[in-house]
Chains A and B, each alone.
Chain A
Amino acid sequence: MKGFLFLILALLTASCFEQGDCSDVSSNVVQVNFYSNSSKTALTIELDSVKMVDFDTLMYVDKDLNKVALPLNPALNSMTYVFYYNNTEATLEIHYKFKTFALAPDCNAIDLITLTEATSVTAQSPTVTQPNLTSTTVENIKLYF
Chain B
Amino acid sequence: LKTLSCIFSALLLVSISTTAQVKQEKDSVEKVRLTAVRVSGDIVNIIKSTIVDDFKGWEAAVDVELKHYYPILEIGSWSRDVSLANGHYTNSGNFWRVGVDVNLLKKDPVKNTLFFGIRYGRSSYDERLDYVITTKEFGQENKSLENLNMKAGFLELTTGLRVKVIGGFWMGYTGRLKFAPGVNESNQLQSYDVPGYGLTYKQPWWGFNYYLMWKLNFKKKPTTSSP
Which A residues contact B (CB, under 8 angstroms)?
A: 3-4, 6-7, 10-11, 14-15, 17-18, 20, 22, 28, 57, 71, 73-75, 97-111
Bound complex: CA A41 to CA B9 (Å): 54
Bound complex: CA A25 to CA B178 (Å): 28
Which B residues contact A (CB, under 8 angstroms)?
A: 1, 4, 43-44, 47-48, 51-52, 54, 82-87, 89, 129, 131, 133, 135, 137-138, 141, 143, 145, 161, 171-173, 185, 188-190, 192, 199, 201-202, 206, 208, 210
Q: Least Cβ distance of B47 to chain A in Å?
A: 6
Instruction: For the A-B complex with A7-B210, A28-B137, A73-B138 known, give 20 more contacts whose Cβ atoms are closer than 8 Å.
Output: A11-B51, A14-B52, A14-B208, A15-B52, A17-B4, A22-B85, A73-B135, A75-B141, A99-B188, A102-B82, A102-B87, A104-B201, A105-B83, A106-B83, A106-B85, A107-B84, A109-B86, A109-B87, A109-B129, A110-B133
By beta carbon, the residue of chain A nearest B84 is A109
B82 touches A11 (CB 8 A): no
Q: List 6 A-B contacts (CB under 8 A).
A: A3-B210, A22-B85, A99-B190, A100-B190, A109-B87, A111-B133
B185: chain A residues within 8 A (beta carbon): 99
B145: chain A residues within 8 A (beta carbon): 100
A74 touches B89 (CB 8 A): no
A20: chain B residues within 8 A (beta carbon): 199, 201-202
Q: Least Cβ distance of B170 to chain A in Å?
A: 12
Which of A7, A57, A99, A108 touches B84 (beta carbons < 8 Å)?
Answer: A108
Which of B48, B133, B190 touches A11 (beta carbons < 8 Å)?
Answer: B48
